[in-house]
C-alpha cells in the first residue's frame, strides 16, 4: 500500500505573476475598447459637422441661384409690362392685329432667350389668358391664371404661385411669377406672367451636383410654400405630389443651430439631416436634406470594423486568460504529478517484489530483462543477469516473443495483450498465460513492457485430457470416428487442391461375432486392443489409424500410391494373422482380418466417397474367402461380372 500524500500548492509568487498578467491584460483591453469608442464617437461628430456645413453651403448656393432666376423673370416681365403700357391700348381686346403680332413676337423672343422661362403670357384684368409665347397661336377659353392676390391697389408688385400641371394641362408644373400692369388709376388693367418649370430647377440642381455640391445619392432639395404648408418643389420627386400638404413629422434638433434638424422623411422613410432657409421674402422655405446612411457610411464602416476588432480582442483576451489559468493549474498539476510519480515508482517496486505471479520489467527495443521479482526466479530458476539477459530466451518458440512485441507496438501504451505460451522453465517446458502491459512514456509510445506469467500447466493438462477423451477411442486408444473424419476431411482437401495421392484402408475382423459369442465381450475387447496394437506397429507416423465402431477399423494413408497402399494393407493383414493370438483367461484367441483398399480419384467428391469404395472392396475380400486384401477396382469388376451372369 502507498502512503497518503497531498500535493503541495504551487509557489505563491507564481500565482501572483499570473494574477498580475490577468489584470494587465484586462486593463489593456478596457483601454483599447474605451479609446475605440471615443474615436468612433468623435468620428461621427466630425462627419455630422462636415455635412451640416455642406448643407448650409448648398442651401445658400441654391437660394442665390433660384433668386437670380426669379430676378431675371421679374426683369423680363417689367420689360413686357413697359411694352404693354407704351404700345397697346388700355383695352387689350381692341388691340390691332399688328399690335398683337408684335406683342407675341416679343413674348416668344424673350422666352426663347431665357432657358429658365418655359413660357411668357399676358392675361386680362380677370386672369383670362390672352397671349402666350412659344408660338402658341391659339389660346383656349379656359386658360386662366390666379390673380386674386394682385387685384388691390396695395397688392404686392409680384406674386409667386405653384402650378401643379397634370395630365390634362398643356403647361408643365412649376412656379408662376405674375406682375400686374397698372393703369393711371393704379388698378391693374393686365397681367404679365412667366412659368418657370420644375425641369429648369432640376437642371440647375444637377449642374450644382456636377460642380461638387453633391450630398449623396439620397439627398433632397425641396421648396415648401409657407401658406398652407404645401409642397412647391422636390428633387427627386419620389412619392411627393406638387401642391399637396407636407405631412407633419416630428423633428430632432441638431445642436444649437435652429436651421438644422433630424427627421424621418415621409416620402422615402429615410432619416435625413435637414437645413432650411426662407426664400422669396419668406413666402417659401428652401429645404436641403442629406440622408444619414450616406454621410455616415464611413462611420458605419468604422463602427463595424471597431466592433469586429473589439470582439476579436475580447475573444483573444478570453482565450489568453483561459491559457493563463490553465498554466497555473498545470503548474500545480505538474508538481503534484512529479510527487505522485515518485510514490508510484516506489509502490511499483514493492508490488513487483511481493506479487504472487512472476513479473519482469523488459526493454522493448532489444528485449533486455531489466528486473524481476522473486516469483520469476522460482519459475525460471534464475534472475535477470548473466544467465537470463533477454526475454526471448524465456519462450520455447522465439517467434512468440516477436509477436508479442509487434502487438505491443500496435496497441500503444493504453492497451495490453495476453496469450497462452510454452516457457523454458527451470523444470522443463511449462505452459503459462503471459500478459504484456506497455508502460507509458513521454511520447505515448511503448518503450518498456511489464510481463506477467501465470502458470497454467495444470489447466493445460486437464484440457489435453478432455481433448483425448473427445477424440480417442477409450478401448483401443486409437482415434475415434469424430477425430478420423475431422482430420480426413482436411487431408482430402489438401490432396485434392495439390493433386497428391491419397489412399484409404477399411479393416474388418473375420468372425468377430463368433469370438463374442464363444468367449464373451471381454474377450472381444482384448481382440480389439490386440488389433489396434498391430495397426500402430504397421503404419507410418503420418498415417492415421482409427476405430470407426465395433470391429471396423480404418487407416488413412496420405501421399500413398496404390502399390504402396496394397503393400501396407498386406503388411497389416500378415501382422494381425501372424502375431501371437490374443489371450483371455488363459485362452488363446487367433484372429484374422479382411482389408479393402481405395484410392482418391479426380472425380471423388469427398472422403465419404473413398470410404464407400473401400467398404465395397472390404465386402469383396470377405466374399472371396476372408483374410485377404481387395481393391476398389477388383470389387467393381466382380460386381460387373455378377450382373452379367444374371
Catalytic positions? 551
Give burial (CB, 10 Å; 0-12/13-18/19+) of 465.
exposed
E strand or H helix that includes residue 556: strand 552-558
- Nearest alpha carbon to residue 87 among 62, 107, 117: 107
Could you give the count of Cα atoms lying within 13 Å of 585 in the half-sphere of its Cβ?
Answer: 7
**Sequence-ordered list of residues with C-beta below 8 angstroms from that of 616, at least 6 positions apart, any chain:** 596, 598, 632, 635, 636, 639
Measured CA to CA, the distance from residue 635 to residue 613 in angstroms comes to: 8
- Nearest alpha carbon to residue 122 among 153, 76, 156: 76
Grid cell for residue 175 = 412656379
Q: Residue 242 region, left (φ>0) first, then alpha (ψ -120 to 50), else beta? A: beta
Give burial (CB, 10 Å; 0-12/13-18/19+) of 343.
middle
- Rounded to 5 degrees, φ, ψ at 214 are -75, 140
Q: Residue 165 region, left (φ>0) first, then alpha (ψ -120 to 50), else beta? A: left
In residues, how long is the chain? 646
Q: Dihedral, CA atoms, 55, 58, 64, 68, nearest 10 degrees?
A: -140
Measured CA to CA, the distance from residue 646 to residue 636 in angstroms comes to: 16
Could you give the count of Cα atoms lying within 13 Å of 445 in the half-sphere of its Cβ?
Answer: 6
Measured CA to CA, the distance from residue 128 to residue 402 in angstroms comes to: 123
- Nearest alpha carbon to residue 287 among 278, 296, 295: 278
Q: Dihedral, CA atoms, 548, 549, 553, 554, nearest 10 degrees?
A: -10
**Sequence-ordered list of residues with C-beta below 8 angstroms from that of 636, at least 6 positions apart, any chain:** 616
Is residue 375 within 8 A of residue 352, CB to CB? The reply is no
Determine the straight-line distance between the first and last CA of the chain, rounded to whole angstroms.
94
Q: Residue 497 CB: number of other CB atoms within 10 A?
A: 8
Paired strand residues for 449: 362, 438
Measured CA to CA, the distance from residue 596 to residue 634 in angstroms comes to: 10
Alpha helices in 128-239 (DSSP H): 198-208
DSSP letter at 517? Answer: H
Is residue 568 within 8 A of residue 504, CB to CB? The reply is no
34-47: b (≥16 Cβ within 10 Å) or e: eebeeebeebbeeb
Q: Residue 432 region, left (φ>0) first, then alpha (ψ -120 to 50), else beta? A: beta
Give the pairing of strands 260-264 and 174-182: unpaired
- Residue in this structure with the C-alpha cell 469608442, named with its chain if needed: 37
Amino acid at each position: 500500500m502507498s502512503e497518503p500524500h497531498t500535493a503541495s500548492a504551487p509557489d505563491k509568487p507564481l500565482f501572483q505573476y499570473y494574477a498580475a498578467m490577468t489584470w494587465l491584460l484586462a486593463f489593456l483591453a478596457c483601454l483599447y475598447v474605451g479609446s475605440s469608442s471615443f474615436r468612433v464617437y468623435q468620428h461621427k461628430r466630425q462627419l455630422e459637422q462636415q455635412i451640416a456645413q455642406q448643407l448650409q453651403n448648398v442651401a445658400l448656393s441654391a437660394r442665390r441661384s433660384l433668386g437670380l432666376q426669379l430676378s431675371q423673370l421679374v426683369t423680363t416681365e417689367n420689360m413686357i409690362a413697359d411694352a404693354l403700357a407704351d404700345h397697346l391700348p388700355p383695352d387689350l381686346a381692341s388691340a390691332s392685329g399688328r399690335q398683337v403680332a408684335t406683342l407675341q413676337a416679343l413674348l416668344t423672343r424673350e422666352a426663347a432667350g431665357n432657358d429658365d422661362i418655359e413660357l411668357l403670357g399676358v392675361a386680362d384684368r380677370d386672369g383670362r389668358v390672352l397671349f402666350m409665347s412659344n408660338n402658341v397661336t391659339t389660346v383656349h377659353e379656359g386658360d386662366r391664371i390666379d390673380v386674386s392676390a394682385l387685384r388691390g391697389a396695395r397688392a404686392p408688385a409680384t406674386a409667386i404661385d405653384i402650378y401643379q400641371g397634370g395630365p390634362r394641362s398643356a403647361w408643365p408644373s412649376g412656379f408662376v411669377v405674375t406682375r400686374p400692369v397698372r393703369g393711371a388709376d393704379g388698378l391693374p388693367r393686365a397681367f404679365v406672367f412667366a412659368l418657370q418649370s420644375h425641369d429648369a430647377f432640376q437642371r440647375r440642381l444637377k449642374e450644382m451636383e456636377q460642380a461638387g455640391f453633391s450630398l449623396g445619392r439620397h439627398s433632397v432639395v425641396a421648396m415648401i410654400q409657407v401658406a398652407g404648408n404645401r409642397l412647391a418643389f422636390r428633387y427627386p420627386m419620389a412619392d411627393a405630389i406638387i401642391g399637396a400638404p407636407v405631412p407633419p413629422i416630428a423633428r430632432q434638433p441638431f445642436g444649437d443651430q435652429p436651421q438644422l434638424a433630424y427627421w424621418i422623411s415621409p416620402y422615402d422613410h429615410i432619416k435625413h439631416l435637414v437645413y432650411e432657409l426662407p426664400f422669396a421674402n419668406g413666402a417659401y422655405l428652401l429645404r436641403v436634406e442629406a440622408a444619414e446612411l450616406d454621410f455616415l457610411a464611413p462611420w458605419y464602416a468604422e463602427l463595424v470594423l471597431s466592433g469586429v476588432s473589439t470582439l476579436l480582442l475580447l475573444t483573444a483576451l478570453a482565450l489568453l486568460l483561459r491559457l493563463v489559468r490553465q498554466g497555473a493549474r498545470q503548474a500545480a498539476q505538474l508538481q503534484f504529478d512529479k510527487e505522485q510519480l515518485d510514490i508510484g515508482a516506489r509502490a511499483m517496486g514493492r508490488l513487483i517484489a511481493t506479487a504472487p505471479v512472476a513479473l519482469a520489467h523488459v526493454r522493448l527495443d532489444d528485449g533486455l530483462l531489466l528486473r524481476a521479482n522473486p516469483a520469476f526466479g522460482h519459475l525460471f530458476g534464475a534472475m535477470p543477469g548473466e544467465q537470463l539477459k533477454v526475454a526471448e530466451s524465456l519462450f520455447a518458440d522465439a517467434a512468440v516473443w516477436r509477436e508479442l512485441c509487434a502487438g505491443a507496438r500496435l496497441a500503444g501504451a493504453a492497451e495490453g495483450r495476453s496469450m497462452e505460451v510454452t516457457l523454458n522453465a527451470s523444470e522443463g517446458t511449462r505452459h503459462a498465460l503471459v500478459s504484456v502491459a506497455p508502460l507509458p512514456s513521454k511520447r505515448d509510445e511503448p518503450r518498456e513492457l511489464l510481463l506477467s506469467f501465470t502458470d497454467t500447466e495444470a489447466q493445460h493438462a486437464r484440457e489435453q485430457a478432455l481433448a483425448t477423451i473427445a477424440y480417442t477411442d477409450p478401448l483401443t486408444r486409437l482415434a475415434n470416428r469424430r477425430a478420423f473424419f475431422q482430420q480426413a476431411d482436411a487431408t482430402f482437401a489438401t490432396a485434392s487442391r495439390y493433386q497428391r495421392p491419397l489412399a484409404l484402408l477399411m479393416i474388418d475382423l473375420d468372425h468377430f461375432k463368433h469370438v463374442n459369442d464363444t468367449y464373451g465381450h471381454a474377450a472381444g475387447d482384448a481382440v480389439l486392443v490386440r488389433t489396434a496394437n498391430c495397426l500402430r506397429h504397421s503404419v507410418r507416423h503420418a498415417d492415421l489409424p482409427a476405430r470407426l465402431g465395433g470391429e471396423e477399423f480404418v487407416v488413412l494413408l496420405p501421399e500413398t500410391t496404390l502399390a504402396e497402399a496394397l503393400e501396407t494393407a498386406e503388411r497389416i493383414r500378415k501382422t494381425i494373422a501372424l502375431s501371437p493370438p490374443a489371450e483371455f483367461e488363459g485362452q488363446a484367441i487367433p484372429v484374422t482380418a479382411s482389408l479393402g483398399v481405395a484410392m482418391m480419384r479426380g472425380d471423388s467428391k469427398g472422403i465419404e466417397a473413398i470410404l464407400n469404395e473401400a467398404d465395397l472392396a472390404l465386402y469383396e475380400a470377405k466374399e472371396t474367402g476372408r483374410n485377404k486384401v481387395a481393391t476398389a477396382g477388383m470389387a467393381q469388376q466382380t460386381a460387373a461380372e455378377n450382373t452379367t451372369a444374371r
